Amino acid sequence: MPDSTLHEPVLDWYDEHARDLPWRRPEASPWSVLVSELMLQQTPVVRVLPVHAAWLERWPTPAALAAEPVGEAVRAWGRLGYPRRALRLHAAAVAITERHDGLVPDDHGALLALPGVGDYTAAAVASFAFGRRHVVLDTNVRRVLGRVVGGAEHPRPSVTKAEREEAALLVPDDDATAATWAVAVMELGALVCTAAGPRCEECPVADQCAWRAAGYPAYDGPARRAQAWDGTDRQCRGRLMAVLRDADGPVRRSALDAAWGPEAQRLRCLAALVADGLLVHVAEDVYALP
């Protein structure tokens, strides 16, 4: 194991404070882990929990989902937001069924080759589902390591080579400990070393934190994008999708017109949803889920 004084306090803290989440339980399937990782992208745990449970009850295996029309995945996605993730998850289920006999692959490269699976998700599934040693860098991990090791309040907008190399030096040598380390640092960032209100008095490595030792210098990197919502195309798309999800079948455009006022924005978003494969134009002024 790399000689790091961070390991023991972080791992001990995780043993005591880890949340009981269904995708972390010993009986959780690799499919449950993959579903959770796609759902948790830009979505809080509290919103994911009920949808994840319903999804796994309906589709306990990739093959079960692959056998359904992709529109059912979009419908079941509900209000999690960013519904293209439902398309990706369905495509991944089809690929797993066709290429891997219905079993989520345990190899990072094979995971990375699945539709909608990027480097982070491949590393996370390989680590959390199969106990493999990988550098797992989500926003929470990047923030913790950036503060404790780098002395910066927030990480840069995208992962740098230096950041990845620094994180790799901290990963324990043996697979099992490395997998626990990955989720422990992530949990520390989610519960204690949060973006807006870090609770340093509860942090197991506060005495080793470079950001704290430097007097909490403010972030001085590129501007961080605010997550706007009211009046945005994202909100408009969400309203239009809700109409289709709540309908038993195809809907006329008049129902979509009633869901959002500004016509130019509504038509632009409707065309984008069709282009993204989230809606299908089945007849003149009639739309349906794919």
What are the catalytic residues? Answer: 37
* Phi (first) and psi of residue 117, to 5 degrees: -105, 115
Q: Which two tokens stand for residue 89?
A: 């998850």
Report the candidate in 177, 183, 184 with the shortest Cα–Cα distance to residue 205: 184
Return the amino acid letter for 41: Q
Return the amino acid letter for 65: L
Q: How far is CA 187 from CA 37, 67, 113, 219, 221, in A?
A: 14, 35, 27, 22, 25
Following CA atoms 169, 211, 124, 276 in sequence, which dihedral angle do they give, to the nearest 10 degrees?
Answer: -130
The whole-angstrom separation of Cα 163 and Cα 49 is 31
H helices within the chain, ranges in order? Answer: 7-17, 30-40, 45-58, 62-66, 70-77, 84-99, 108-112, 119-130, 139-148, 161-170, 175-191, 210-213, 233-246, 253-259, 263-275
Q: How far is CA 236 from CA 120, 233, 256, in A?
A: 29, 5, 10
Cβ-count burial of 5 within 10 angstroms (0-12 exposed, 13-18 middle, 19+ buried)? exposed
Q: Provide CB contacts within 8 A for 290, sequence distance 6+.
A: 69, 70, 71, 74, 277, 278, 279, 280
How many CB atoms are closer than 10 A to CB 213?
Answer: 12
